[in-house]
Amino acid sequence: MSIAAAVTGTATAAVHVAQRHASPARTTAPRREQSPLNPNSQALRAAGQASGSSAAAPTDGVRTHIANLDRVLGKPPTVPRPTGSHAHAASKEAQAGSRDQEPLNVRHGLLNALNLSFFVPMPGMRARTAADEHMSPRSLMHMQQLLSADSPRASPRSTIGPRWRALHGEGGWAGLLDPLDSDLRRELLRYGDFVQAAYQAFQSLPTASARHRGLMLPDRSYRPTRSLFATSALSMPTWARRPNTPEWLTQQSNWIGYVAVCESEREVQRMGRRDIAIVLRGTITCPEWAENLRATLVPLDDGETAATTHAAGAEQPKVARGFRSLYKTAGEKVRSLSEDVMDEVRRLMEKYKGEELSITVVGHSLGGALALLVADEIATTIPDAPQVAVVSFGGPKVGNAAFVEKLKASGKVNVLRIVNAGDMVTKVPGVAPRLPLSREHYQHAGAELRIDSKNSPCLRPDVGPASRHDLEAYLHLIDGFTATGSPFRYDARRSVIRLLQLQRGNVKKEYVKRARELGVDPAAPADVGRSMAYGNCAVASPS
């Protein structure tokens, strides 16, 4: 071979090598394909089959990709996994260690005694397996983004003015729930964070008498205008009160929520109307839990209205006795929840008279039940009331079929129930006892958006009722929901810090481990400052 030919061949080979190792120009949008770091990806399997390598070769490839992932995350390299007999011994040691971990449904704090998971068996609960703890490298990278200092905030706000009525429930949210509309998802998450703020405001100072109890709303375009109180008709007997029991846990009247109005003109223009939000938390105190158990159906209206309806031969709208009691009972120093809400709605309607208005009543658990009573009274007693939307997270059934029909007939109330599969609270009450021999059935109202904890990449598939009813778990699942049967949203942006802190017993072990490596202690209480850095109000949501 001549020297020229050799030089030419060498140059050609160099060009091919350079082309193989050159970085491609970033001129096109990123491909949304399965991550090459995922050991189950089709590309990796195809590469292993084409090479004709032995069974050990794909394992080596997975280790290489994991090592590359650690370098991307900026973490020190981990100890290589043992192989052969060492791997078998390590597996036994890991299984022994898992038995020493915290039980699935253990929750710390004052509300342990009220946790539903201790009293209600969860169908289909099973032992944890290695597959339940699996976490793909792509999921690890996504978690790194949600825990890092530059984690993206909430999704950008698009202008929804031209379609606000559809997003607010006109038409029953037809075509917006499955698949879930991106604008609707963002609105639901905002209202869910409003309820989180109500929980935090109560738990931070449960006995305070301040007007808004240091209430910090996650959306600063809204301003709270009135505090709301709910009073139970039941009182704790003297024998049931312990010397060290906090006063707020047994008192009859408690702060349960607030009314807020959007005051930012820029936000009003973006939304196409001025929104009035009525926000109600779930059950916390002992009298509230006692009222939840009073499931007898009673007439919604008292006096002449109920008698006239019954005489006309129509079925009476009825609701659970306990819910009606909390809504209509006045306390020694506070008015009833009904009086406060109606008075504030009328005041705000007069203040913003002539503007396009909407009313959104949002609640979790017990708050979702009371939200239906609020919406019904607004539609019944305020003839010129604007469109009312009810957003209920994990709410129970409230009334009979006549009550549901009354809401529909008003033409002003639209109800959206978000339900996590397996949430026991959404299934009760089933029937109401009526003496002597008959029973009357409860019925759900409105449209339903169904989510499932099993779709989350970081929640264990065998989570118990406490996690399935938890509000933060609800918001985490809504953020990742795209459509029934579809995988968790790959670009979900909600921070998982609070989910780890509130539900670490239900989070996959690999997530908890990696969170600690990234400097987040799941055992620490919710950090207000850090959570606010991710665009979320740092609040706790008891189940």
Sole residue written with tokens 């169904």: 450
- Catalytic choice (469, 470, 495, 531): 469
Active site residue 469: yes
Between 55 and 170, residue with greater pLDDT: 170
Q: Torsion angle, CA of 183/184/190/193, rounded to 10 degrees?
A: -140
How far are the Cα atoms of 104, 114, 241, 464 from residue 119, in angstroms, in the given order? 14, 9, 22, 11
Does 18 score more than 50 pLDDT? no
Distance (Å, rounded) from C-alpha 456 to C-alpha 452? 8
Does 68 score more than 70 pLDDT? no
Active site residue 310: no
Tell me if 449 sits within 8 A of 175, measured CB to CB: no
Distance (Å, rounded) from C-alpha 133 to C-alpha 130? 5
- Per residue in 328-362, pLDDT (tens digit) is 999 888 999 999 999 999 999 999 999 999 999 99
What pLDDT is attached to residue 298? 93
Does 234 score more than 60 pLDDT? yes
Sole residue written with tokens 């609270």: 425
Tell me if 437 sits within 8 A of 412, measured CB to CB: no
207 Cβ contact list (under 8 Å, min separation 6): 246, 247, 248
- Catalytic choice (181, 183, 219, 423): 423
- pLDDT band for 213, please (50, 70, 90 cuts): low
Give DSSP secondary structure letters for 15-67.
HHHHHHHSPPP--SPPP-PPPTT-TT-HHHHHHHHHHT--THHHHHHHHHHHH
What pLDDT is attached to residue 206? 75
Distance (Å, rounded) from C-alpha 408 to C-alpha 336? 26
Average pLDDT for residues 175-201, to the nearest whole number?
A: 94
DSSP character at residue 177: B
Highest mean pLDDT: which of 101-105, 297-301, 479-483, 489-493? Answer: 479-483
- Per residue in 107-144, pLDDT (tens digit) is 333 343 333 333 333 444 344 444 444 555 555 555 55
Does 305 score more than 60 pLDDT? no
- pLDDT band for 104, please (50, 70, 90 cuts): very low
What pLDDT is attached to residue 379? 95
Torsion sign over Cα 34, 39, 41, 47: positive
- Dmax (CA) of the chain: 113
230 Cβ contact list (under 8 Å, min separation 6): 253, 254, 256, 288, 326, 327, 337, 370
What pLDDT is attached to residue 190? 94
What pLDDT is attached to residue 137? 55
**Mean pLDDT over all residues of the chain?**
74
Distance (Å, rounded) from C-alpha 506 to C-alpha 473? 10
Tell me if 367 sits within 8 A of 256, measured CB to CB: yes
Average pLDDT for residues 56-61, to the nearest whole number?
A: 49
Reduced 3-state DSSP string for 306-320: HHHHHHCCCCCCEEE
Distance (Å, rounded) from C-alpha 287 to C-alpha 254? 10
pTM summary value? 0.71
What pLDDT is attached to residue 462? 86
Sole residue written with tokens 């080596």: 60
Q: How many CA atoms lie within 13 A of 493 on its CB side?
A: 14
- Catalytic choice (338, 358, 365, 541): 365
Distance (Å, rounded) from C-alpha 103 to C-alpha 444? 34
Whose CA is closest to 288, among 318, 251, 263, 316? 251
460 Cβ contact list (under 8 Å, min separation 6): 104, 128, 132, 133, 506, 507, 508
Tell me if 222 sits within 8 A of 190, measured CB to CB: no
384 Cβ contact list (under 8 Å, min separation 6): 349
Active site residue 117: no
